[in-house]
């Protein structure tokens, strides 16, 4: 077998946790203004760490990861894109997703699991150059 067997429910849970914990952190890091965190007397690089250069690098990496997340969502089918954007990017309540897609709560839950697995598939490919092994959000059986 070319691919290991994926636990779809556990993968969906891992993707949801990624959007709850990691995604907001990346958003904050990507949106920090470097002018507000810079001290004009601070050296651009030093051996102490946490220099302007380090902070700029962290901000740029976070921006690239956010862009990668958006690209991974765009690689999913249309229904999955709607679910991922509404549920994980905008934190919409489930009833709004159900109303938008005109599906029952049980069906939306099945589609959410599918959407999270599609995202994990796409994210693994597009994020690997940035994150290495951390780009794989799948849980294997």
Looking at 50-54, 104-108, 113-117, which range is the least confident one?
A: 50-54
Q: Is residue 55 part of a domain?
A: yes
- For residues 35-41, average pLDDT: 50
Quote the domain boundaries for residue 73.
8-36+48-135
Q: Which residue has the tokens 């651009």?
A: 44
Count of domains observed in the chain? 1
**pLDDT band at residue 48 under the 50/70/90 scheme:** low
Q: Which of 123, 91, 124 is nearest to 24 (CA)?
A: 91
Burial class (CB in 10 A: 0-12, 13-18, 19+), 19: middle
Kindly report the pTM of this predicted structure.
0.85
Name the residue with higher pLDDT: 47 or 88.
88
pLDDT of residue 45 exceeding 50, the answer is no
CB 58 within 8 A of CB 49: no
Q: Is residue 41 part of a domain?
A: no
CATH number of the domain bearing residue 29: 1.20.140
pLDDT of residue 42 exceeding 60, the answer is no
Q: Is residue 2 part of a domain?
A: no
């Amino acid at each position: 077998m070319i691919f290991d067997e994926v636990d779809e429910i556990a993968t969906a849970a891992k993707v949801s946790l990624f959007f709850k914990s990691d995604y907001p952190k990346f958003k904050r890091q990507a949106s920090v203004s470097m002018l507000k965190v810079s001290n004009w007397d601070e050296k651009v690089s030093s051996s102490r760490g946490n220099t302007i250069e380090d902070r700029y690098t962290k901000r740029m990496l976070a921006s690239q990861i956010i862009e990668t997340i958006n690209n991974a969502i765009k690689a999913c089918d249309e229904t999955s894109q709607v679910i991922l954007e509404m549920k994980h990017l905008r934190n919409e309540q489930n009833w709004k997703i159900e109303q938008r897609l005109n599906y029952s709560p049980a069906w939306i839950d099945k589609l959410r699991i599918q959407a999270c697995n599609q995202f994990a598939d796409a994210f693994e490919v597009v994020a690997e150059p940035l994150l290495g092994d951390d780009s794989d959000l799948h849980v294997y059986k």
